[in-house]
A and B are shown apart, each in its own frame.
Chain A
């Protein structure tokens, strides 16, 4: 940059995470600023708007201690960049992308703009390689593929962290390539973050993990930056260093809260429940940074976690996420109460990329029909459950009772598994057939006859 970097102390206003500076010249939109407080501490921020000589700035670390007098602002002339390198693997960074472990300095290979660039839709490769998570509720019923963005919709107090941790431990593709993990914490507690670190350490995965931590007591506004910083590292590793990455983002709800805070401070017209009207676009600028690209080896698979306020799926955060992601895995309070782990409710869960990622050569020939039948039978069984609540079990026909029984068994044998139980896709599918064995063969209308002949258990267990 040839521009002389000017320092201004003409602060007009401080409001929440926002400061307004007067009398500036030649300021760029989205430019990084360095704010120096009267006591000498430095904070970073970014230009949100410039109107002639007035700049509106959001300060990532918050504005506490900032005064209109004695504070100065320096414009750096560039947008936010992250120094990237393969050495980031195995390291821990703060929410701004600065190393916070005791490791050596990272010697950057290059610097990348944290906002990334949109992938040209015509350059994408359609994701279709099956990822085995070892969990039947996912692999069998809502299959994840490499390059997909599949969030976990959960609620407070539910074991979404355990599920995510188990997935990170077990995830593999059948072709054998390894996964790297980018773990992004936004506003979670130290305890939660530690749970993940320990999990990575125990599974010996630590050197394949890059961690970005913005914890509950870290500045909230920094959360706006954290996922972008992390995805920039992920893009570098995936698309320039050929790695396959699984990116865990938790908790997106905290991210959205930060977004709402900025919006309120700017006195923008609030959208639903006070979240800004552009939240869809903003979330898309995170979630769309996943996928596969033609002619590139690596991939980014995203698994964002969000806790639904009041378990309400219509809340703007899960709602807008659902509109962008390629399906969702729903963690159910009801199943959790029944002591079923993982309490994944397969009915409202959906993997939209499943259909192209399963079948012969990918998982197994019978997979599609089988999951369809299991789904239908489970739905029917749950219907019977509701009916029993009204009319009593005696009013049911024998067949209806079989369905009722099926639903119970499906939950406690197929869905439920141990926290260290890593089922292969074969095991999951075979278990599915064992479940169907509880129903008469004529009931299997959604499966091709040839697969029924091949896989349906011969001796029927009553």
Chain B
């Protein structure tokens, strides 16, 4: 028995073509989600509806030129991804076709009807972990392959195979297509290679989900300190065009402390993927010191690539991500943009003439969205390890209006909401995440982690900073009416500090060498400096010093420069800043006491 080939071969004939949706007759016996080869050019498609002998299919390639009467072959396999060494550093289209291989074979433009191997035809050094005779459990680690400078690829028994290990190869170099082990199963012997296939629409199994108690550290202050996401958690980042979704997602892909990153460019710009390809190899992971590409898998189904493959890209990405989770890794998946995926659903649904729901989206939009985010989590794997999959989805609401269905249905399932704000963007306040409307439901769960690992007072300071910002918001309304000079001095100090929190802490330039990434320690130190200054300033006010004088204190400037101070110099800089602040305090307080 082989798990590597499909069995059925059903052949039908095209009777209808409407964009990416094609209907064929004579398809009795075909199964839902089965892969089909459509037409004389053998375009790849998937069955999405069956009725008597008619099969409705979505085609993952451009259908122009396809004719009525051309044949359709059902392959007997569901739409699957190949999971094995060679995924890392790769860039795939929405149905796991390696784009670099396609470029080498056909040139700069994507042609149709090509079949390319998903995993590179390459040999790997395999190190077995188990011996012949062992009991084989689904998901068990058979051995390892050093896939990249930082990733040890654990070769897993497919989740649907179990039995007894009949034989396994010894340590050595093997081709990706070589059999490396044989398992005696209830249905006969099964040969295993270093990879296996898994249907993209079926979540990979695990033993148990856990609550998330460890933050996914992103190096972005507004995220880590204000609205953190947990490892295994979910976040939605909605915003109108140009508000910073992609930059934020890129920042996460670069700096998040995940062992594996899967980045899905879903219906967005070609140049943004190029940017990732050019930029990532040059960036070093602050934790491993190795290029961040060494842990990254890219899926690129850009806006001008076929719309049905865009729908599939999200599933291709999440299945690859789950696979690495099953090896016991912390995986983070970014999807930019889930709205484009939802629009692909809508377009297909419209072609199927299904009953449209709100804004024309199909009624199953909500369940599809939650089904996607449900695939996140921190889990006990089948191999008795712990792994996590965090999912961060960008949402592109029409007109930037969050009341639309994709945003609303996303908010119903995700636990973190990073609300991008056009007004902040227009002021070039980046990341333009609105601190009053965003939220994280993980604050309490991960507080202990911060206490144990970074700072006792993380949550306390965060809450204090939040309340200063909230107070600022209320004071602003008064200022609008009567001007800032009319406020009492204490409140003007609050405004000053709120401004410092916004400009010197929340604003973070993704394109600045130093500021792009900010460690947990530095985040704590920065916020502490601002809040200490606030206390000092309030005392000075009580001593009779004016806001104008406080504003002139060199400490204000120094705090402003803090974000550009490298981690190395941080300690001495902070010390200098603090000493100077208290000297200034003494000087000013004394001059008023006299």
Partner of B303, one of A30, A115, A284, A326: A284
Flag if B271 contacts A127 (CB, 8 Å).
Answer: yes
The reply to whether B398 and A316 contact each other, CB–CB distance below 8 Å, is yes
In the bound complex, how far is the Cα of B109 from the Cα of A295, in angstroms?
Answer: 13
- For the complex formed, measure the closest distance between the CB of A287 and the CB atoms of chain B, giving whole angstroms: 8
CA distance A52 to B17 in the complex (A): 9
Contact (Cβ within 8 A) B275 A126: yes
Beyond A26-B68, A118-B305, A281-B343, whether A288 also contacts B108 by CB under 8 A is no
A348 at the interface (CB under 8 A from B): yes
Residue A457 lies at the interface, judged by CB distance under 8 Å to chain B: no
Q: Determine whether B575 belongs to the interface, using a CB cutoff of 8 Å to chain A.
A: no
B65 pairs with A79, CB closer than 8 A: yes
Q: B17 near A29 (CB under 8 angstroms)? A: yes
Residue in contact with A375 in the complex, picked from B109, B340, B428, CB distance below 8 Å: B428
* Min C-beta distance of A315 to chain B, whole Å: 8
With A271-B359, A323-B241 in contact, is A122–B15 under 8 Å at CB? no
Q: Are B109 and A284 in contact (CB under 8 A)?
A: no
How many A-B residue pairs have C-beta atoms within 8 angstroms? Tell me.
191
Expressed in whole angstroms, the minimum distance between the Cβ of B126 and any Cβ of chain A is: 28
Which range holds the interface residue count of chain A? 35 or more
Binding stretch for chain B, among A65-73, A250-258, A272-280, A332-340: A272-280
Q: A122 near B271 (CB under 8 angstroms)?
A: no
A316-331 interface code vs B (CB 8 A; 1 in, 0 out):
1001101110111000
- Docked CA distance A53–B17 (Å): 11
Given contacts A121-B91, A280-B343, A288-B302, contact A379 B67 (CB under 8 A): no
Scan A3-28; emit 1 where CB is below 8 A from any B CB, else 0. 00000000000000000000001111
Most buried by B among A116, A117, A445: A117
Q: How far is the CB of B284 from chain A (nearest CB, A)?
A: 20
Q: What are 7 A-B contacts with C-beta separation under 8 Å? A: A26-B68, A29-B18, A50-B17, A123-B107, A278-B347, A291-B270, A314-B401
**Which A-chain residue is minimally distant from B306 (CB atoms)?**
A118
Determine if B242 and A352 form an interchain contact, defined as CB atoms under 8 angstroms apart.
yes
Is A135 positioned at the interface, with any CB of B under 8 Å from its CB? Answer: no
Q: Is A355 an interface residue (CB 8 A)?
A: yes
Within 8 A of B (CB), among A69-91: 78-79
Answer yes or no: B111 CB below 8 A from chain A CBs: yes
The reply to whether B356 and A288 contact each other, CB–CB distance below 8 Å, is no
B99 near A121: Cβ-Cβ < 8 Å: yes
Contacts of B560 in A (CB 8 A): 445
B48 in the interface, Cβ–Cβ < 8 Å?
Answer: no
Given the interface contacts A288-B270, A387-B483, does A118 sit within 8 Å of B399 by beta carbon? Answer: no
Chain B residues numbered 553-588 whose CB sits less than 8 Å from any CB in chain A: 560
Known contacts A26-B69, A147-B271, A281-B307, then 14 further A-B pairs from the complex at CB < 8 Å, ordered by chain A residue: A25-B69, A26-B68, A28-B68, A49-B18, A49-B19, A79-B65, A118-B305, A123-B108, A124-B273, A278-B350, A280-B343, A288-B270, A288-B302, A348-B426
Measured CB to CB, the closest approach of chain B to A21, in angstroms, equals: 13
Q: Report the bound CA distance from A352 to B304 in whole Å.
A: 19
Distance, CA A391 to CA B485, complexed state (A) = 11
Judge whether B271 and A353 touch: CB under 8 Å.
yes
Q: Per-residue CB proximity of B284-310 to A under 8 Å, as 1/0?
A: 000000000000000010111101000
Q: Given the known A-B contacts A126-B275, A350-B242, are A117 and B111 also in contact in the complex, defined by CB atoms under 8 Å? A: yes
Query: Cβ of B63 < 8 Å from any Cβ of A?
Result: yes
**Cβ contacts under 8 Å, B103 to chain A:** 120, 122-123
User: What residues of B have a CB within 8 angstroms of the CB of A126 in the complex?
Assistant: 271, 274-275, 278
Decide: A277 near B274, CB < 8 A? Known: A117-B110, A289-B304: no
**B-chain residues with CB within 8 Å of residue A398 when the two chains form the complex:** none
- Name the distance in Å between A145's Cβ and chain B's nearest Cβ: 10
* Distance in angstroms between the alpha carbons of A376 and B503 in the assembled complex: 12
The reply to whether B109 and A118 form a contact with Cβ atoms under 8 Å apart is yes
Let me know if A379 and B427 touch, CB within 8 A.
Answer: yes
Number of interface residues of B (CB under 8 A): 66
B221 at the interface (CB under 8 A from A): no
Contact pick for B64, options A29, A376, A391, CB 8 Å: A29
B contact residues around A123 at 8 Å (CB): 103, 107-109
Q: Which residues of B contact A314 (CB under 8 A)?
A: 399-401
Contact A281 B302 (CB under 8 A): no
In chain A, positions 233-281 with a C-beta closer than 8 Å to chain B are 239, 268-272, 277-278, 280-281
Residues of B near any A CB (own CB < 8 A): 15-19, 23, 62-69, 91, 99-100, 102-103, 107-111, 240-242, 265, 267, 269-271, 273-275, 277-278, 300, 302-305, 307, 340, 343, 346-347, 350, 356, 359-360, 396, 398-401, 426-428, 480-483, 485, 511, 560
Contacts A30-B65, A49-B17, A284-B303 hold; do A347 and B274 have CB atoms under 8 A apart? Answer: no
A120 touches B67 (CB 8 A): no
Shortest B399–chain A CB gap in Å is 4
Cβ contacts under 8 Å, B347 to chain A: 277-278, 281
In the complex, are the beta carbons of B64 and A117 less than 8 A apart?
A: no
- Cβ–Cβ < 8 Å partners of B66 in chain A: 28-29
The answer, yes or no, to whether A181 is at the interface (CB within 8 Å) is no
Expressed in whole angstroms, the Cα–Cα distance for A295 and B265 within the complex equals 24
Known: A29-B17, A122-B91, A327-B242. A269 touches B356 (CB 8 A): yes
CA gap between A120 and B97 in the complex, in Å: 11
The one of B16, B343, B359 in contact with A51, judged by C-beta atoms closer than 8 angstroms, is B16
Find out whether the CB atom of A288 lies under 8 angstroms from the CB atom of B398: no
Are B346 and A277 within 8 A (Cβ)?
A: yes
Evaluate contact between B63 and A121: CB separation under 8 angstroms.
no
CA distance A387 to B277 in the complex (A): 46
Q: Does A125 contact B (CB under 8 A)?
A: yes
CB of B275 to closest CB in A, whole Å: 6
Q: How far is the CA of A387 from the CA of B485 in the complex (A)?
A: 12
Using known A-B contacts A277-B346, A322-B241, A375-B428, determine if residue A120 contacts B271 with beta carbons closer than 8 Å. no
Give the distance in Å from the alpha carbon of A122 to the alpha carbon of B481 in the complex: 54
**Which residue of B is nearest A442, CB measured?**
B557
Contact check, B102 vs A120: say whether CB atoms are below 8 A apart: yes
| A121 pairs with B302, CB closer than 8 A | yes
Whether A285 and B428, one on each chain, are in contact in the complex, defined by CB atoms closer than 8 angstroms, is no
Contacts of B16 in A (CB 8 A): 49-52
Q: A271 CA to B399 CA in the complex, in Å?
A: 13
Taking CB atoms, residues of chain B closer than 8 Å to A119 are: 108-110, 270, 304
A395 in contact with B340 (CB, 8 Å): no
CA A295 – CA B108 in complex, angstroms? 9
Query: Is B15 within 8 A of A391, CB to CB?
Result: no
Q: How far is the CA of A323 from the CA of B240 in the complex (A)?
A: 8
- CB neighbours (8 Å) of A25 from chain B are 68-69
How long is the Cα–Cα vector from A288 to B274 in the complex, in angstroms?
A: 13
Q: Most chain-B Cβ atoms within 10 A of its Cβ — which of A25, A125, A271, A348?
A: A271
Give the nearest-CB partner of B557 in chain A.
A445
CA distance A350 to B244 in the complex (A): 12
Instruction: With CB as the reference atom, state the residue of chain A lying closest to B346.
Output: A277
Q: Please judge, given known A-B contacts A121-B91, A126-B271, A288-B269, whether A395 and B483 are in contact too, CB under 8 Å.
A: yes
CB distance from B558 to the nearest CB of A (A): 12
Does A31 sit within 8 A of B, measured CB to CB?
A: yes
Q: Which of A362-416 contact B (CB under 8 A)?
A: 372, 375-376, 379, 387, 390-391, 395
A42 at the interface (CB under 8 A from B): no
Q: In the complex, what distance in Å separates the CA atom of A316 from the CA atom of B570? A: 48
Chain A residues with Cβ below 8 Å from B240 are 319, 322
- Assess A29 versus B102: contact at CB under 8 Å? Given A118-B304, A284-B303, A323-B396: no
- List A contacts of B483 (CB < 8 A): 387, 390-391, 395
Q: Which of A30, A52, A327 contacts B15 (CB 8 A)?
A: A52
Contact assessment for B270 and A124 in the assembled complex, using a CB-CB cutoff below 8 Å = yes
Given A269-B350, A319-B399, A379-B427: A121 and B303 within 8 A (CB)? no
Which chain A residues lie closer than 8 Å to B303 at the CB level?
280-281, 284-285, 288, 324
Closest to A314 in B: B399
Q: Which residues of A contact B91 (CB under 8 A)?
A: 121-122
Known: A280-B340, A323-B241, A324-B269. A122 touches B100 (CB 8 A): yes
Binary contact track A93-133/B, C-beta < 8 Å → 1, others 0: 00000000000000000000101111111111111000000
